[in-house]
Amino acid sequence: MSAAPTTPADRRQLARQLPPLRADDAALIQRTLDALWAEQGLARTTLDSYRRDLEGLARWRDGASGGLAGIDRAGLFDYRAWRAWHGWSPRSDARLLSALRAFFAQCVRRGERNEDPSALLESPKLPRSLPKALVESQIDALLAAPDLDSPLGLRDRAMLELMYAAGLRVSELVNLPAAALNLRQGVLRVTGKGSKERLVPLGEESQHWLQRYLDEARPLLAGKAAVPAAANGQVPLFIGPDRQPPTRQQFWGLVKRYAAVAGIDPARISPHGLRHSFATHLLNRGADLRALQMLLGHSSLSTTQIYTLVAREHLQKLHAHHHPRG
């Protein structure tokens, strides 16, 4: 059976047509997410993703056979089959499965269920996708794209420089508190996934642009009033004219706009493009994999090792191009 010919817009429309979330399912989801946050310290973005997946299942179920609390393995099979038929990707299915396993593990732990119906569900086979890194000349063009005559352009230059210099995730960059930056010592304190902190050294170039932003742009963007605390309770480092930090979506839009100015193919740009480029360029220049793991904030070395494949591809292309028998 082939998948239904639906686009992402079709799937969003389909999700909107599902019945509204029932109060008992909403309460169960909230109770479980609160427990996951308290016991495991999961990041807000992870909890938000779990919430969307669990609410989607609950709305599709619409209280049948006890709703979310009573769903069995067959019901989960049916839901995954429905999603596959309507074109949800294996990667999306993998995220759903992570949410289900975390959710039902909590339900079993609290004694609300005797067993986890997701325990024997097979994980989808995911294609190995290598991070897309820019070459160094493209990085230079991208960093030079913002208009430095405007406060926002100077802010954007500082953000791009910092993301590339420190290998930050987009969420880490836009949520940086002002107190995390220590230009005198040249270090940045970053709170990553699972609320884990790491110290990242800053190079002279990124320090230069951060200092210019703080001296020339931020006072103009902030005005005379004090900058309010963000959702994390701390004053943000990067702000706009509304004195609020940019969202991940807004920053992604900025990167795409500056990529167009720099003449970079949009297919070569991803939300984490500068982070991937940071890691790839360090490996190409001989960085140690363990050191790279610490700089990126990966909990497992296997996650960092994906960049060795990118670096190996780069070396193979160089050999093929320059070696007389390549």
Distances (CA, A) of 243 to 35, 189, 237: 33, 22, 10
Instruction: Check which CATH number belongs to the domain holding 302 and give it.
Output: 1.10.443.10
From 95-109, 181-195, 210-224, the region with the lowest mean pLDDT: 181-195
Say whether 182 sits in a helix, a strand or coil. Answer: strand
* Residues 104 and 243 reside in one and the same domain: no
Catalytic residue among 50, 164, 258, 307: 307
User: Does any domain span residue 67?
Assistant: yes
* Residues 174 and 99 reside in one and the same domain: no
pLDDT value for 275: 78
User: Does any domain span residue 127?
Assistant: no
Rounded mean pLDDT of 147-152? 96
Residue 128 has pLDDT above 90, yes or no: no
Domain count, the chain: 2
pLDDT value for 318: 47
Catalytic residue among 22, 73, 132, 193: 193
User: Does any domain span residue 119?
Assistant: no
* Residues 141 and 91 reside in one and the same domain: no
Residue predicted with more confidence, 294 or 145: 145
Residue predicted with more confidence, 3 or 288: 288
pLDDT value for 300: 63
- DSSP letters, 184-252, are TTTEEEEE-GGG-EEEEE--HHHHHHHHHIIIIIHHHHH-SSPPPP-TTSS-BSS--TTSSPPPHHHHH
From 60-74, 95-109, 238-252, 276-290, the region with the lowest mean pLDDT: 276-290
CB within 8 A of 54, min separation 6: which ones?
29, 32, 68, 99, 100, 103
User: Is 307 part of the annotated catalytic residue set?
Assistant: yes
Distances (CA, A) of 244 to 195, 212, 218, 227, 231: 22, 19, 11, 8, 10
* Residues 192 and 66 reside in one and the same domain: no
* Residues 61 and 142 reside in one and the same domain: no
User: Does any domain span residue 123?
Assistant: no
What residues are paired with 189 via a beta bridge?
199
Single-letter residue type at 191: T
Catalytic residue among 59, 272, 276, 281: 272
Catalytic residue among 157, 275, 276, 281: 275
User: Does any domain span residue 141?
Assistant: yes
pLDDT in tens, 15-46: 889 999 999 999 999 999 999 988 888 888 88
CA–CA distance, 326 with 89 (Å, rounded to integer): 38
Rounded mean pLDDT of 254-278? 83
pLDDT value for 317: 53
* Residues 173 and 318 reside in one and the same domain: yes
* Residues 140 and 103 reside in one and the same domain: no
| Residue 183 domain boundaries | 136-322
pLDDT in tens, 192-217: 777 778 888 888 999 999 999 999 99
Instruction: Check which CATH number belongs to the domain holding 103 and give it.
Output: 1.10.150.130
User: Does any domain span residue 122?
Assistant: no
Residue 129 has pLDDT above 80, yes or no: no
Catalytic residue among 80, 83, 157, 169: 169
* Residues 102 and 237 reside in one and the same domain: no
User: Is 125 part of the annotated catalytic residue set?
Assistant: no
Residue 304 has pLDDT above 70, yes or no: no
Average pLDDT, the chain: 84
Give percent of the chain above pLDDT 90: 43
pLDDT in tens, 57-96: 999 999 887 888 899 999 999 999 999 898 888 888 999 9
User: Does any domain span residue 58?
Assistant: yes
CB within 8 A of 113, min separation 6: which ones?
69, 104, 107
User: Is 275 part of the annotated catalytic residue set?
Assistant: yes
User: Is 243 part of the annotated catalytic residue set?
Assistant: no
* Residues 168 and 306 reside in one and the same domain: yes
* Residues 180 and 290 reside in one and the same domain: yes
pLDDT value for 320: 55
* Residues 211 and 294 reside in one and the same domain: yes
- What ranges make up the beta strands (E) of 78-192? 181-182, 187-191
* Residues 140 and 23 reside in one and the same domain: no
User: Is 224 part of the annotated catalytic residue set?
Assistant: no
